[in-house]
Amino acid sequence: MKMLIIGMGPGIGYSLAKRFGDEGAEILMVARNAKKLAGFKKALGAAGIASKSYVADIGNVQAYTAVLQQIAQEHPDIDILHYNASVYNPTLPSQLAYSTFLNEININTGGALLAVQAFLPAMKLRGNGAIFFTGGGSAHNAPPELVSLSIGKAGIRNLALCLAQECAPAGIQVATVTVNGMVAPGTKHDPDIIAGMFWELYQLPKTQWVWEKTI
């Protein structure tokens, strides 16, 4: 089993790597900070989890697309694609620069679409696979200072729904977990709990697939 996590970080990303890695998955990680990726690789290795990292800035579409193509060529057998990347700039809608808005939409939603288009063809050929997205409650209740994140998470939610309808007939599972709150250890939104929800989704038989869970 291979899992690709795009937007690897110390919260949900690392918890996902640990949860699925503990179940035997090899973890492939994408993030823009090579030093942090090296730290995750070391920590996962100490836990007996095999991993490989790729450096890419999702905001640089050309470079990001090249890395996606590289991974797709090296690992045509990826079982699980998980898009976990997000960025936000706390600014009111009336004050948000259009260039900033476009960059953040690109990272919050556009990067997910590019990732899906890179790995979905191989999944369709095999007739199996899973595509997961980390969603956010701002898709439903948008704070004014989180305008680009809110629109991005609404986009992720709708992308998940559209893909779920496209992919289910091909035997490919698509789902998002909408996180209605700040992710923090020891709370309802503990990243380990969220990672566990994704594992539970992955265990569902096709007849019980759902495209969204909320926490």
Please report, for the chain, the start and end positions of each structural domain, with discontinuous segments joined by +: 2-214
Q: What whole-number distance in Å separates Cα of residue 138 and Cα of residue 129?
A: 28
pLDDT at 167 over 90: yes
Residue 144 is predicted with a pLDDT of: 85
- How many other C-beta atoms can be found within 10 angstroms of the C-beta atom of residue 115? 26
Confidence grade of residue 198 (pLDDT, cut at 50, 70, 90): very high
Q: What whole-number distance in Å separates Cα of residue 202 and Cα of residue 131?
A: 10
What CATH code would you report for 2-214?
A: 3.40.50.720
Q: What whole-number distance in Å separates Cα of residue 91 and Cα of residue 149?
A: 10
Confidence grade of residue 201 (pLDDT, cut at 50, 70, 90): very high
Q: What Å distances lie between residue 65 and 71, 85, 177, CA to CA?
A: 10, 15, 25
- CA-wise closest residue to 152 among 103, 190, 188, 186: 103
Residue 58 is predicted with a pLDDT of: 96
pLDDT at 182 over 90: no
pLDDT at 123 over 90: yes
Write out pLDDT tens, residues 36-47: 999 999 999 999
Confidence grade of residue 140 (pLDDT, cut at 50, 70, 90): confident
Q: What Å distances lie between residue 78 and 33, 73, 96, CA to CA?
A: 23, 10, 38
Confidence grade of residue 139 (pLDDT, cut at 50, 70, 90): confident
Mean pLDDT for the chain overall: 95
Name 213's bridge partners: 177
- Token pair recorded at residue 71: 């991974």
Mean pLDDT (whole number) for 52-58: 97
